[in-house]
Amino acid sequence: MNLKRILMSAALSVGVILSATGCSGENSSSGNVGDITFADGDKIAVIEIKDYGTVKAKLFPDIAPIGVENFIELAEQGYYDGLKIHRVIQDSLIQGGSLNGDGTGGTAAYTGEENDKSDGTFPIEVSEKARNFYGALCYAADEYGRCATQFYIVNNKTSQDVTKVDTTKVQAKVDELAAEAAAAEWEADSSEAKKNSYLQSYYSNHAKIMGSNDQAVIDKYAKVGGLYQIDGGYTVFGQVFEGFDVIDSISTAEVETNAYGEKSMPVKDIIISSVTIETYTAPTEEETSGEADKSSGSKSESTSDAEETDSSSDGELLDDSSEAEEPNNSSEA
């Protein structure tokens, strides 16, 4: 990973960012570390991609309340309809939601009650329960760690070993950046100070999150893949549960070099037809019972088929070796 390209959060102090990790109100089913389950009232994002198909993702309002509310309001306004997936990096991510279709433009519809609304952005929201696994739905951020409209979906399916991260080296980077800021004596609102602050926040978050890895996280990264290298630097606000074939198909699109010198711009436009929000309704007892009866009948038939078949057969800081491309909002980069 090219560490110079990591975009970190500058708008909030390290302490504030870390206090957002493990937000109050989360429950055991929150996030995407475990299996994705549904309860009555859960919000589902339905993303229609022209000529590709439908992607569905469960949203995490308890983990990323600002991000989810912003996404819902943008979807209900029809903001995403007709915009492009403007960035495709195979085995890394796909990114869209730029107003101008080139990584620029776009203003958040909701920035949170306590945040400055003047620039139409909001800070990252981080949780150890929401990771950059394959299929994670997340916000891109600018060089100051501010989010607005652009989102990315992780498309890396390569097995990842998160046990090799040395969190002491990651934390040491925070001290190095803090010393740099102290020596520079930047004004608090200067561009350099904001960038440095975001980097400190990212490394602090990353060290804390990697240090909290339990066996479930280790196993899931090994099984499904993802971009663990950027955990703690971006808002993971949902998880795809349907339409992985669409993600995979988009990831193979032919790309060319964009205005920033990165080979990631699709040669043929990939259009977001629409983004809509559905509310999950839990089945009634009668519906559940009916489905169970159908399933039982199907299972009996399938078992018979299987038995027939069987009878006829004898039958160092961040790991540089795992290159990860960082999502970014280039409107202010």
> What proportion of the chain, given as a percentage, has pLDDT over 90?
72
**Per-residue confidence at 123, pLDDT binned at 50, 70, 90?**
very high
pLDDT higher than threshold 60 for residue 194: yes
pLDDT for res 294: 65
Helix, strand and coil content of the chain, in percent to the nearest 5, comes to 35, 20, 50
Cα–Cα–Cα angle for 48, 111, 98, rounded to 5 degrees:
40
What's the whole-model pTM score?
A: 0.82
pLDDT for res 319: 36
pLDDT higher than threshold 50 for residue 31: yes
pLDDT higher than threshold 80 for residue 248: yes
Cα gap 181→2, rounded to integer Å = 21
User: pLDDT tens across 49-96, in order?
Assistant: 999 999 999 999 999 999 999 999 999 999 999 999 999 999 999 999
Tell me the mean pLDDT in the region 178-195. Answer: 93
Q: Say how many CA atoms lie within 13 Å of 308 toward its Cβ.
A: 6
Q: Say how many CA atoms lie within 13 Å of 215 toward its Cβ.
A: 0
pLDDT higher than threshold 90 for residue 300: no
pLDDT for res 327: 74
pLDDT higher than threshold 80 for residue 152: yes
Tell me the mean pLDDT in the region 9-38. Answer: 52
Tell me the mean pLDDT in the region 204-209. Answer: 96
> What proportion of the chain, given as a percentage, has pLDDT over 70?
79
Return the sign of the alpha-carbon dihedral for residues 182, 184, 185, 186.
negative
pLDDT for res 297: 58
- What fold is seen in the domain 3-283? Cyclophilin (2.40.100)
User: CA end-to-end span of the chain, whole Å?
Assistant: 19
**Per-residue confidence at 331, pLDDT binned at 50, 70, 90?**
very low
**Per-residue confidence at 29, pLDDT binned at 50, 70, 90?**
low
**Per-residue confidence at 271, pLDDT binned at 50, 70, 90?**
very high
pLDDT for res 286: 76
Tell me the mean pLDDT in the region 278-288. Answer: 84
Tell me the mean pLDDT in the region 211-231. Answer: 97
pLDDT for res 296: 59
**Per-residue confidence at 326, pLDDT binned at 50, 70, 90?**
confident
User: pLDDT tens across 167-186, in order?
Assistant: 999 999 999 999 999 999 89
pLDDT higher than threshold 50 for residue 229: yes
Cα gap 178→182, rounded to integer Å = 6
Residue 97 falls in which region: left (phi positive, over 0), alpha (psi -120 to 50) or beta: left
Cα gap 226→299, rounded to integer Å = 34
Cα gap 148→303, rounded to integer Å = 51
8 Å CB contact between 95 and 86: yes
pLDDT higher than threshold 80 for residue 113: yes
Q: Tell me phi and psi for residue 48, to 5 degrees.
A: -95, 125
pLDDT for res 301: 42
